[in-house]
Structure 1
Amino acid sequence: MAAEPTAPPAGLPRALARRVGRQVPAALRRYRVMAWVVGVLLIALVLVAVPVKYLGGPDEPVALIGTAHGWLYAIFFLTACDLAVRARWTLKGAILVILAGTVPILSFVAERIATRKTRAGERV
């Protein structure tokens, strides 16, 4: 299923508006992938690895998943910032979306809202 092109923000010069419109769908796709990856890893860390560790299990899953989540969150941060700049999000919206990657399950909600609004051409 192809992503719908995002309407360029009003008030932009025509050449810049065309560039923004072409760049936003790819940035949105990268952001959505990273939001899901970070969300799944955070759920695995908080709901599986940490309880196993504190119930007397091995420490390795926490170290492995926690490290992976940390590095991938850095990539998520960059992709969210990239999308925020390209789609001209508000600073408040960008910060809230970025922070959503640190709360289990909230990254999925924020991703859905950001996707809907960005595809509609609205500012997050």
Structure 2
Amino acid sequence: MDPQNRPAILAALTRYRVMAWVVGCLLVLLVCVAMPLKYVWHNPTMVTYLGVAHGWLYMALLITAYDLGRRMHWPWRNLLLIALAGTVPFLSFVAERYATRNVRSTLAASDAVAADELTSGVTGEAR
């Protein structure tokens, strides 16, 4: 992985994490608060507003997930799972944690390889 891509990858990760949390919180509110209000107390107002907000922001989540996945060269299966996680309550938080761990471990491994190459290059010149 090219070290010059690191700032762009971290920025894409931050955008994705923010959207995953926003969409996840909206979905939890929609399912746990607004839906009971609609079906138990016959008040559909919150479902209307939270549903629309969740729908639009879910599209932004898909864009940020695609951006991060493209930068990380993830397979389509991972992108599909992350995209579907935004439709199941609480699962977007799990997907966000998985993506964060994956990105950080990949970047750490890339840094270790770069440091190894730098060290072996310096050692090779000294011989």
- For 1:66-120, what per-residue CA distance to the aligned partner results, in whole angstroms no more than 9, with x for missing partners? 0000000010110000000011111111110111011000000110011001111
1:52 counterpart (31, 37, 45): 37
TM-score by length of 2: 0.81
Query: 1:80 — aligned with what?
Result: 65
Report which of the two has the higher share of helix: 2
SS in 2 for 1:95: helix
Number of matched pairs: 107
- Percent same amino acid among aligned pairs? 50
Residue identity matched to 2:50: I
Does the 8 Å CA contact 1:84/1:94 hold for their aligned counterparts?
Answer: yes
- What letter is aligned with 1:38? V
Which of these two proteins has the greater Rg computed from alpha carbons? 2
TM-score (norm 1): 0.82
Partner of 1:69: 54
Computed over aligned residues only, the root mean square deviation of the Cα atoms, in angstroms, reads: 1.1
Secondary structure of the structure 2 residue equivalent to 1:120: helix
Q: Which residue of 1 aligns with 2:25?
A: 40
Q: Which runs of 4+ in 1 moved over 4 A?
A: none
Q: Is residue 18 from structure 1 mapped to residue 7 from structure 2 by the alignment?
A: no
In structure 1, runs of 5+ residues without a counterpart are 1-7, 9-16
Structure 2: unaligned runs, 5 residues or longer: 108-127
